[in-house]
Structures are given as structure tokens and as C-alpha cells.
Copies of this chain bind each other. A is one copy, B any other.
Amino acid sequence: MSQDRAKVRLYVDAPLGVAQSVPVNREQANYLFNVMRLATGDRVALFNGRDGEWLAEVVTHNKRGGILTCVAKSGPQCQPPDLWLLFAPIKKTRTDFIVEKAAEMGAARILPVQTRHTNAERIRQDRLQAHAIEAAEQCGGTYVPEVAELQQLARLLDDWPMDRQIMFCDESLVGAKAGLTAASGDKWAILIGPEGGFAEEETTRLREMDCVISVSLGPRILRADTAAVAALTLWQATLGDWR
């Protein structure tokens, strides 16, 4: 069936523009033609993080790939606010969820960090990046946040760009008034702690940094994945693209 609004959204690398041809790789071909059962002439919505959303038509396809052609621009390029999410990786499923939710909630970059109490020694960056892509396809966004490699929080703070504010979700403030009260600037990062919290030296260091604003997330202790969504909500509603 041809349709005006595409049911399938796909993130691609290729440039998008009038009559532009877009090749799809084996994995994308499997999704489009096996899973979603698209046929020649069917339409797909494409985005690449730069050129907005385009309606494209299936020109040819087989098991190993296919060619789509851009038909018309269907939406503008929408960049998220300049917001990073720093979090300490936890169990696999919950780490996947944090990345998925950060993409849905409009984080621009996702930075897994190793803290004193983080168990994870390594992450599968490629798998997490794939989750971010899938979330962007699903949520109607035109941007995929980059997932960085795991790095030490202490080193990241050594080189921290001082014009970027940190919304520090400080578990020791559980029960304090929630919300972003003193807030300014348009470059931000949210920092979510590991299960078990930050080490005292980490908390002390963060509180002493001028760019850090400590924030409470209510009277109950939230799991890291809950805290990520809650913090992103507070930030987006107060300073971001929900306003």
C-alpha cells in the first residue's frame, strides 16, 4: 500500500534531499521488507540528524539491501537543547532503558560515567547507540544522541567546560524541595548517581564546582532509570524544549 503518512521511520547516514537516492543496508532491509513487509512503492520516513524528515519511496529491494528515493520533506530538522546526560551504568536492562529514555526525552549526548561505586567495568557502546537510534525512530525525533564510551567521572570533571552547568541529582537531598531554582545558561548536563550513591569525595568535589547546581528529586529514593527520566522531565519543563 502507498500511504501519505509513513508508518515506518528509519534513521540513515546518507544525505536527504529532493530526488536523493538512499541505500539501505542488510539490517535495515530485513526490518523494512521482512519485519514491516514493505513493498516497492511503499513509503518510509527518513531522518539523518541533519536534513529534517523526508518521505521516501521504495524503488528496489532484495534480501541484502535496497534503494529508496526521497519524495518530499515531511518535517523540519529539530535539534534537542544542548543537554548531556551523565549516568553510571547499572544492570544491562536498566542501562538500556536509560539510553532509550534519554533519547526520547531529548538529550543531545549520553555519557556513561564510572564513579567510585559503579560496578560496570565496560559497556557495549555499539549496542547502546543502537538503542538510541531505535528510540529516536520510535519517538518521532529527527536527532539521535551520541552515546559516548564509558569514562571516569573524575577525569571528565578534570576537563569540564566551565560554561556548562551541571544539574547534580544529589541523593543526600532526598526530601528537600525539588526543582531547578537557580538556573541559567543554555549548556547543561544532568548527572545521575549509581545505585548506592556517590562517594563522599565525589559529592564534595561536585558541590565545590561553580557550575554545579544540586537538585533534589523528591522524598523517595529513585532507582537510576527513574531518576534519569524525572531529572530530564524537570529540566525540559523548566529550561528545555517542553516550555
List of B residues within 8 angstroms of A101 by Cβ: 226, 229
- Whether a CB of chain B sits under 8 angstroms from the CB of A23 is no
* A105, A177, A243: residue with the most chain B Cβ atoms closer than 10 Å: A105
CA distance A181 to B211 in the complex (A): 30
A78 interface residue per 8 A CB criterion: yes
Complex copy number for this chain: 2
Residues of chain A from 207 to 221 with CB closer than 8 A to chain B in the complex: 216-221
Residues of B within 8 A of A232 (CB): 230
Judged by a CB distance under 8 angstroms, whether A123 is at the interface is no
Given contacts A177-B243, A178-B236, A242-B178, contact A106 B138 (CB under 8 A): no
In the bound complex, residues from chain B placing their C-beta under 8 Å from that of A241 are 218-219
* Chain B contacts for A219, CB-based, 8 A: 78, 106, 241-242
In residues 76-117 of chain A, which contact B (Cβ within 8 Å)? Answer: 78, 93, 97, 100-101, 104-106
Contact indicator A139/B104 (Cβ below 8 Å): no
Q: Are A178 and B221 in contact (CB under 8 A)?
A: no
Chain B residues, CB < 8 A from A222: 104-105, 139
Give me the interface of A with B, judged by CB distance under 8 Å. Answer: 78, 93, 97, 100-101, 104-106, 138-141, 174, 177-179, 216-223, 226, 229-230, 232-234, 236-237, 241-243
Can you spell out 30 A-B residue pairs with CB atoms less than 8 angstroms apart?
A78-B219, A97-B97, A101-B226, A101-B229, A104-B221, A104-B222, A105-B220, A105-B222, A105-B230, A106-B218, A106-B220, A138-B223, A139-B223, A140-B174, A140-B221, A141-B220, A177-B243, A178-B236, A178-B237, A179-B243, A217-B242, A218-B237, A218-B241, A218-B242, A219-B241, A229-B229, A229-B233, A233-B233, A233-B234, A237-B237
A-B complex: 6 closest residue pairs judged by Cβ atoms: A178-B242, A229-B229, A233-B233, A218-B242, A139-B220, A230-B233
